Amino acid sequence: MFAKRQSALAATAGAPPKGGGLKFDVKQVGAVLKKPPVMVGGAGLLLLGTIALFLTVLGDPRAGTPTARVALHREAPVEAPAPSGLEAFSMGGFSAWQGLGADPSLDPNGAAGSEALITLPDGTTVAGGSAIAAPQIAASPLIAAPIAGLSQPGPQGALPVIAPDGRVPAQAYARPFQSNGKPRVALIVGGLGLNAVTTRAAIERLPADVTLSFVPYAQGLQGWIDLARAQGHEVMIEIPMEPTGYPNNDPGPYTLLANATPDDVEAKMNWLLGRATGYFGVTNYLGDRFVTSDTGMAAFLGILRQRGVAFMDDGLARRRPGAWARATADSVIDETQTPAAIIGRLNALEAAAKARGAALGTGFAYPVTVEAAARWTAGLDARGLQLAPASAMTQRPGR
């Protein structure tokens, strides 16, 4: 029994077992590879293999390229220093907000992107991007204020009056003027006293025949007026008047209102006129609504007439006669605050003076206005005109 069993084991020794080995089935492998996850994974492996083969054969494509490491350090922003008075009064320093060169129409040559050129009446041109600094002008002092007999105590300060001998502030505080026969042109620069840099520059760098107008709210107002008169300028005080849109558009305290009674107008005028002495006249600040009030304007002009003070408006009150002496500006020169626009308005003012014999312009103490006015006035005599103080343009009521 044992021998038979041994023979059976020997007979089967070395033969593969039936049904017990691994079989490679191509159909099964193909079915597995057709599954989407397997296909995606296989594609990824093929791509990685291709890249590895490329780097092995060709090497790193960036090998040999110079490299450097730089440590970056962000500097803290440095605040620009405040400009000096001279820098503040250069056109180049204000080119950002003037927009010079951005508008090709400002360039007479029509070159887009170039600097705007300002053509002066004498034919010279000034590049809008260039710095223009008007030189300080030698003083031509007026009589120091107050002049005896031309003021009296008021509830808020000294008020102007007509002297017993007939002298009036409108004449005594005006800059003396002698006509040379040429057409006269006058200029008023207002809004002074609130900014020390612009106020001092206007006083020192504009000709003495340019009239200066001061804001009544300015601190140290009398000191500014004294400085202006010491330089040779005649001065005025600005009277705030009700504009359209009041009170959202508010000229400030003590504004003369269109619906005010004569007593209200007088009370406010006592405060405004009592702020300083040495002015020959007053001018309006805004006031397109107030000048339409018959009651308000009658009270206002009556006070000026009784006190011997002149009234010069910016064009709003052209149809309102009165005051001791009276004049109306022909144009506002800086409604558009660019050198080219201001020079254009000054040229037009000059043409009006030549046509009619006299012309009066008014502007605000923008740095660009002061610089353009300084350049323009410098050549007036050579162009056949005479620069005159604004007081020389006034007329007595009824004349």
The CATH number linked to 283 is 3.20.20.370
Does 236 map to a domain?
yes
Does 125 map to a domain?
no
- Name residue, tokens 């359209």: 244
Q: Each residue of 151-197: pLDDT tens digit?
A: 999 998 999 999 999 999 999 999 999 999 999 999 999 999 999 99
pLDDT the model gives residue 119: 43
Instruction: Assess contact for 116 and 132: CB atoms under 8 A.
Output: no
**How far, in Å, CA of 174 to CA of 172, rounded?**
6
Instruction: Assess contact for 185 and 387: CB atoms under 8 A.
Output: yes
Range of the domain at 225: 166-393
Does 312 map to a domain?
yes
Residue 161 or residue 323, greater confidence = 161
Does 260 map to a domain?
yes
Residue 258 or residue 67, greater confidence = 258
pLDDT the model gives residue 26: 52
Question: If you write DSSP's letter for every residue of 293-328 in order, what string do you get?
Answer: -HHHHHHHHHHHHHHT-EEEESSTTTT---SSSEEE
Q: Each residue of 339-385: pLDDT tens digit?
A: 999 999 999 999 999 999 999 999 999 999 999 999 999 999 999 99
Query: pTM for the whole thing?
Result: 0.69
Instruction: Assess contact for 239 and 272: CB atoms under 8 A.
Output: yes
Does 389 map to a domain?
yes
pLDDT the model gives residue 35: 65
What mean pLDDT is reported for the chain?
A: 79
Does 327 map to a domain?
yes
Q: Which of 36-50, 90-104, 119-133 has the least mean pLDDT?
A: 90-104
Burial of 267 from C-beta contacts in 10 A (0-12 / 13-18 / 19+): middle
Does 160 map to a domain?
no
Does 351 map to a domain?
yes
- Name residue, tokens 């120091």: 144
Phi/psi at 308 (5° precision): 70, 35
Report how many domains make up the chain: 1
pLDDT the model gives residue 66: 56
